[in-house]
Amino acid sequence: MNLGQISVPGRDDGLAGKVAVITGGASGIGRALALAYARAGVSTVLGYHPGDPHDPAAAVADVEALGGRTLAVEADVTDSNAVRVLVQNAVSEFGGLDIAVANAGILRRATLADMTDEHWNSMLDVDLTGVVRLLRAAAGAMHGSGALVAVSSIAGGVYGWGEHAHYAAAKAGVLGLIRSVAVELAPRGIRANAVIPGLIETPQSLDAENSLGPDGLEAAGHGIPAGRVGHADEVARAIRFLTSDDASYITGEHLVVDGGLTVRFPS
């Protein structure tokens, strides 16, 4: 029987020497991903939102301390031109683009009754159209194979979440978007997948006004089979996997990273 070429899993995941763009790269999951990529030998361009209280210089310093190459670029994902420039930076500074991770996102609390068109549109503009802007620019800049990842959420991606319908709609939309982009770009050797984080301790989830806050996260951890909420690095490593050669035949999929939260028997 001819089994063809069998590759033995080893430490070479194909990432070393690659170039990645990450939106929302100055904090939380995006920043953890920049560090994970630095350890894997991936050069990164970190998009950051100028109005937000995250320090891109500190993210750059942390990556460089690991021996990684990185560059922080101001890029609001609601601005198509800024996203195009973000991607162009990868090409001009590092010679090309292999990976793009649409991670930037906002979370706002609003009941359906209070949800104005402005609430709805501004949420979708960042959390769904912002993803389209990055995938479009990145796919246009890729001249060989590549990998795209978008960050969805268990809110919308798996569960409903009261007072967060606009967020959940955007995050559910990300999954349909990724499946379609995966089909469209597969002939070019570009894969597209989503990650669905559960409850992860980051600035977003620590915001008590719009999310659970520190006390809510602590309490929620007890209901998670793993017994705790997740760390940003645990999502980052799942994204690193999806963009590596270890996932070479995986496209149009989503990977839930939630410590078993969404598969537990309801009690």
Catalytically active residues are 167
Binding status of residue 126 toward ligand NAD by CB under 6 A: yes
DSSP-H helix ranges across the chain: 28-40, 56-65, 80-94, 117-127, 129-141, 154-157, 165-185, 213-221, 232-242
d(CA 169, CA 229): 23
Residues near 191 by beta carbon (within 8 Å), at least 6 away in sequence = 145, 146, 147, 148, 182, 185, 242, 247, 248, 250, 251
Q: CB-side exposure of 13: number of CA atoms within 13 Å?
A: 18
Among 34, 128, 172, 200, binds ligand NAD (CB under 6 A): 200
Among 15, 18, 19, 23, binds ligand NAD (CB under 6 A): 23
- Per-residue x/- mask for ligand NAD, residues 138 to 177, rule CB under 6 A? -------------x-x------------------------
Residues near 148 by beta carbon (within 8 Å), at least 6 away in sequence = 99, 100, 101, 102, 135, 138, 139, 178, 181, 185, 190, 191, 192, 193
Looking at beta carbons only, is 29 or 72 nearer to ligand NAD? 29
Residues of span 41-70 touching ligand NAD by CB under 6 A: 47, 49, 52, 54
In the numeric block, the tokens 């951890």 are attached to: 221
Q: Angle at Cα 29 formed by Cα 24 and Cα 32, nearest 5°?
A: 105
Rounded least distance, CB 249 to ligand NAD, Å: 25
Among 18, 19, 46, 76, binds ligand NAD (CB under 6 A): 76
- Per-residue x/- mask for ligand NAD, residues 222 to 241, rule CB under 6 A? ----------x---------
Among 89, 103, 243, 251, binds ligand NAD (CB under 6 A): 103
Pick the closest to residue 33 from 212, 189, 197 (CA basis).
197
d(CA 190, CA 161): 32
Rounded least distance, CB 43 to ligand NAD, Å: 19
Binding status of residue 104 toward ligand NAD by CB under 6 A: yes
Looking at beta carbons only, is 138 or 151 nearer to ligand NAD? 151
Looking at beta carbons only, is 68 or 105 nearer to ligand NAD? 105
Comparing every residue's Cβ against ligand NAD, the nearest one is 28
The residues that touch ligand NAD, with contacts defined as CB under 6 A, are 23-24, 26-30, 47, 49, 52, 54, 75-78, 103-107, 126, 151, 153, 197, 199-200, 202-205, 232
